[in-house]
Amino acid sequence: MKTIHPKITEVLTGTFKVPAHEVLPESTMDSLEMDSLAVAEFAVIIKETLGVDADSEKLYKDATLADISAYIDEVVGSTAAEATVPVSNTR
């Protein structure tokens, strides 16, 4: 969550004008007054900036920002692990 939460905060405060003091780990999209269109746009921005593709309805409906951050960290981490294949030079 440490690396993703600041990016989520940046998107929510910059694009959606959510006051920074309201962007807390326990906040939900509903508590931030994000309607379904805003949540869908948020999902697109996250996909474009972080490469994480997720169904906005399923992922963001009741999830807290901590849940969303953990999910994105997991996906980004597993993608990086798959992309970083150790190469052995021994034969």
Domain assignment present for 49: yes
Domain assignment present for 21: yes
DSSP state of 84: -
**Does residue 81 surpass a pLDDT of 50?**
no
CB 28 within 8 A of CB 34: no
pLDDT tens digits for range 2-30: 678 899 999 999 999 999 999 999 999 99
Domain assignment present for 56: yes
Domain assignment present for 89: no
Among 2-11, 28-37, 51-60, 77-86, the range scoring the smallest mean pLDDT is 77-86
Domain that holds residue 11: 5-76
Query: Which of 21 and 83 is assigned the larger pLDDT?
Result: 21
Residue 9 burial class via C-beta count within 10 angstroms: exposed 0-12, middle 13-18, buried 19 and up: middle
